[in-house]
Structure 1
Amino acid sequence: MKLDVEQSISSMKTKIAEYCLQKNIYNPIVVGIHTGGVWVAKQLLDAVPTQEPLATLDITFYRDDFTRAGLNPKVNQTLLPSIEGRHVILVDDVLMSGRTIRAAMNEIFDFGRPASISLAILYDLGRHELPISADIVGETLSLQAHQRIKLSGPAPLSVALMETTKMVS
């Protein structure tokens, strides 16, 4: 499987501009989820009709698997302006189970009540465990259970298909 991150980003730029126009969304707050979502959001920002700087979100303490992740998670800073009544475009690199997005929305609502939240995802793996879907998708992938996507960056931004060990039942 050949993955072309530049082509997927280009597709997202076109889709996000059309989406904002279609939904009459002007001057939204673009929020990247650390770390890969921030990298993708930086690439998309010039295609969004906004004057707002990029906002960032660290969901480490909002994850439902935080206690399983170990005692020393790498925590990044959340930089979020007032979102009360504003349109938010939430950006992440990969949508798999939907748990990261749920955690991000929980944190966003701790900062206020946005007018709307739209979801932009670079790669949708279609393995949703929660009823969460993206409004803007760079590419939808069908991977085998032992395969994952690994985004590296920020410059250059690259993507790789990773093989994990197969679980024997």
Structure 2
Amino acid sequence: MKTIFDQSVIERTIRRLSYEIIEKNKDLSLLTFLGIPTRGVTLAKRIQKNIEQIEGVLIPVEILNVSGYRDDDKKTEEKNLPDTNLDNRVCILVDDVLFTGRTVRAAMDAIIDLGRPSKVHLVVLVDRGHREFPIHANYVGKNLPTSILEKVYVHFMEDDGIEDVVLG
């Protein structure tokens, strides 16, 4: 295993992503964060906290479980969505690692079931390539070219008791 980010780099990267979101969105009151479990939710909450500290605006964070929308894993047919309306909102979809794009594709299907947002943006901590769908992140912590066989593991203190990003 090779450490890509340690805790201090993760904190700086999340702070930078928070500033990028602020800069690209004039009216923060229109934003809704949609965190993909598990670490996408943690990342969304951290960005939310940073933006609240910087701008004094509390952006809602919703948990977007996309398992019922997956086209490559039919274990779960139940669509468990948050009770929220995304009409005319700017949705910021948040995930830890962007790989094939299948999770994001499923998330976009789920988002449409929640309303018609004015925009959907994607923020990821790590983009490792190998897309199977034409999906691109608007905000990227780090582009990390990997082989198809390598794995990227994100650990957050809140979820794992340690904080790092490792390549294995």
Contact 1:25 1:87 survives alignment (8 Å): no
What's the CA shift for 1:78? 3.8
Select the residue among 55, 64, 68 that pairs with 2:62: 55
- Counterpart CA distance in 1 for 2:153 and 2:20 is 28
What's the CA shift for 1:96? 0.5
Aligned residue number for residue 126 of structure 1: 129
Structure 1 residue identity aligned to 2:154: L
Select the residue among 155, 159, 167 that pairs with 2:165: 159
SS of 2:28's equivalent in the other structure is: coil
Aligned residue number for residue 19 of structure 2: 17
- Counterpart CA distance in 2 for 1:34 and 1:62 is 14
Matches within 5 A, 1:42-81: 42-48=45-51, 50-67=57-74, 71=75, 78-81=81-84
Matches within 5 A, 1:32-111: 32-48=35-51, 50-67=57-74, 71=75, 78-111=81-114
* Greater helix share, structure number: 2
Structure 1 residue identity aligned to 2:5: D
Contact 2:121 2:138 survives alignment (8 Å): yes
Percent of aligned positions that are identical: 30
Cα distance change on mapping 1:16 and 1:52 into 2, 3 Å? closer
Aligned residue pairs, count: 157
In structure 2, the gaps of 5 or more residues are none
TM-score by length of 2: 0.81
Contact 2:36 2:66 survives alignment (8 Å): yes
- Counterpart CA distance in 2 for 1:127 and 1:119 is 17
Aligned residue number for residue 166 of structure 1: none
- Counterpart CA distance in 2 for 1:76 and 1:109 is 13
Deviates more, 1:129-138 or 1:9-18: 9-18
Cα distance change on mapping 1:76 and 1:141 into 2, 3 Å? farther
SS of 1:31's equivalent in the other structure is: strand
Cα deviations by residue, 1:40-69 (Å, 9 ceiling, x for unpaired) = 1122112335423321110001001123xx
- Counterpart CA distance in 2 for 1:93 and 1:5 is 15
What's the CA shift for 1:77? 5.5
TM-score by length of 1: 0.81
Q: CA RMSD in A?
A: 2.3
Deviates more, 1:102-111 or 1:49-58: 49-58
In structure 1, the gaps of 5 or more residues are 163-169
- Counterpart CA distance in 2 for 1:24 and 1:82 is 21
- Counterpart CA distance in 2 for 1:25 and 1:8 is 26
Contact 2:100 2:130 survives alignment (8 Å): yes
